Structure 1
């Protein structure tokens, strides 16, 4: 008989198998929650698109030329919403540009935005990965 067994017998303590199952189940649940959180984090970053506006030029009162670069998953088509605003931050031009899939990670583009009035700025509002390839 071990010392622990003698102490347990002396003081009337019993080791419960249910407690061991409870601790084991809680540990398995905790590992599962951490694994699920890790998977969702990785899955979300696989389709992440980063975009930077590199330049804009006001062509005339009816157009803005916008330069931007994207960093997107290789082999995935991307769409970007590009926008032109006036001095009061009102949207005077807007369009969605679909970018075909490519093998490179980072690419640069120049696009024209038709406007309804003279713009003072142009920028990329947002970009996202398309579920089907752009045509």
Structure 2
């Protein structure tokens, strides 16, 4: 026994050295598995985006939607036109019929109360 052991006592390890690295490895594995599961659940069978838009005049904006579908589902997409001050100046629900073709392009017109500067896809839902 050294003088330090006599003065402070000897510390005995109560847990094996491999326990905490094992706990860390299991935690990391569980986290990766959860992240992979969460990223693949609730993925809709379609994606939509505004391909282009054109401000025709102060009362009309044309929007071109592009729809990508894995399954032939009918969709209802809500688009709106915004003015320079970010206020919504017009909106429209666009019905997209079911089709096995992908991608599908749908061109529609939004009536506006004043001049718009952009067209935005708000949402698309099945039905």
TM-score bucket of the superposed structures, by smaller chain:
0.5 to 0.7
Distance in 2, matches of 1:77 and 1:42, equals: 22
Q: Which residue of 2 aligns with 1:75?
A: 72
State yes or no: 1:44 paired with 2:42: yes
TM-score, normalising length: structure 2? 0.64
Question: Is structure 2 residue 58 aligned with structure 1 residue 61?
Answer: yes
Q: Which residue in the other structure is 2:113 paired with?
A: 116
Take 2:80 and 2:60, find their aligned partners in 1: how far apart are those partners? Answer: 11
CA positional deviation for 1:42: 5.7
5+ residue gaps, structure 2: 1-32
State the partner residue of 1:133. Answer: none
Match of 2:98 among 89, 96, 101: 101
Contact 1:74 1:104 in 2 (8 A): no
- Equivalenced residue count is 93
Unaligned runs of 5+ in 1: 1-33, 131-135
| Root-mean-square deviation (Å) | 2.0
Contact 2:73 2:126 in 1 (8 A): yes
More helix by share: 1
Matching residue of 1:30: none
Contact 1:74–1:105 under 8 Å retained in 2? no
> Do 2:96 and 2:106's aligned partners in 1 also have CA atoms closer than 8 Å?
no
Secondary structure, in 3 states, of the residue corresponding to 2:42? Answer: helix
